[in-house]
Structure 1
Amino acid sequence: MTTAREIMTAGAECVNTDQTAADAARKMTDLGVGALPICGPDEKIKGVITDRDLVVKVVGKGRDAGTFPAGDLNQAEAITAGADDSAEEVLATMKDHQVRRVPVIDGQRLVGMVSLGDVAKALPHHEVGDLVDTLST
């Protein structure tokens, strides 16, 4: 059984809820990523912010990215995968919540991120095709 820990990209970093959308954008640029988990002062994951969120929910709405709190882009429920979850469980989570990236936690600690690309490399083509189809509707 392939686990999330085996297919994830390790070393994911958070943007804190009290940082700004501009801070998140700079961090994404520096790290060369399109999404970051949002973490609270308790270091628990509150959600994920994507480059698309920054464009659509901040810049596109005329908000000032330099003052807009990244924490205001939290989801109602943080979607995560456990480090020891199977790749199939991660796939099901992504399909159920229609997300392309999922933070991976070990207990409450962030240990990595699983992306659509990570899943695509780990699972048979028909399962990945189902996920892409789900995300595209």
Structure 2
Amino acid sequence: MAQKVNQVMTPVPVAVSPDTNLVRVGDLMRRHGIGDVLVVHEGRLRGLVTDRDIVVRAVAAERDMAGTAVADICSTNIVTVAPDEDAEAAVTLMRRHAVRRVPVVDGDRPVGMVSIGDLAVQRDERSALADISAEPPNT
């Protein structure tokens, strides 16, 4: 039987409000060992910011990290997947949209995050990507 997204996702994703500054977002990424944070307003998913977004859209643009809100640089055109969908649906979305992680939403409320690493472990726990994903983050 095919696994569902809610069986492979990371539950309770780290989320911030749109007005959170980039210093705080970066600190959350460091403390949690993650490369992405959801942007949520009134419980609803409004965007996604990655460590790459911060580098390309803020650091390289010489923005003031303490004075820039995450809403100013986050991606708002994001693909999502429902928790009860087959995990293969997440794989298809990642391939089609060339993304490495997809927020898991119940309606428009985030309940998890599924990453390429989560799916690698689900497909073949002995794969190189699964091994890398299982390692603790570099801090």
TM-score (normalizing by structure 1)? 0.83
The 8 Å contact of residues 38 and 46 in structure 1, kept in 2 or not, is answered as yes
Structure 2 matches for 1:14-93, cutoff 5 A?
Answer: 14-40=15-41, 42-93=42-93
CA distance in 2, matches of 1:123, 1:55: 31
Give aligned pairs, total: 125
Q: TM-score scaled by structure 2?
A: 0.82
Q: Structure 2 vs 1, CA of residues 29 and 124 (structure 1 numbering), >3 Å: closer, same or farther?
A: closer
Structure 2 contact 53–74 (Cα < 8 Å) conserved = no
Matched residue of 2:60: which SS?
Answer: helix
CA displacement, residues 78-131 of structure 1 (integer Å, 9 cap, x when unaligned): 321110111110111111111101111123321111111011112369xxx9xx
- 2:108 maps to amino acid: Q
* Structure with higher helix content: 1
Q: Which amino acid in 2 is paired with 1:25?
A: G
Q: In 2, distance between residues paired with 1:63 and 1:25?
A: 14
Q: How big is the alpha-carbon RMSD for the aligned residues of Structure 1 and Structure 2?
A: 1.8
Residue of structure 1 equivalent to 2:12: 11
Identity %: 33
CA deviations on 1:13-66 (whole Å, 9 max, x unpaired) are 2121111111110111121111111112x2211221111111111111110110
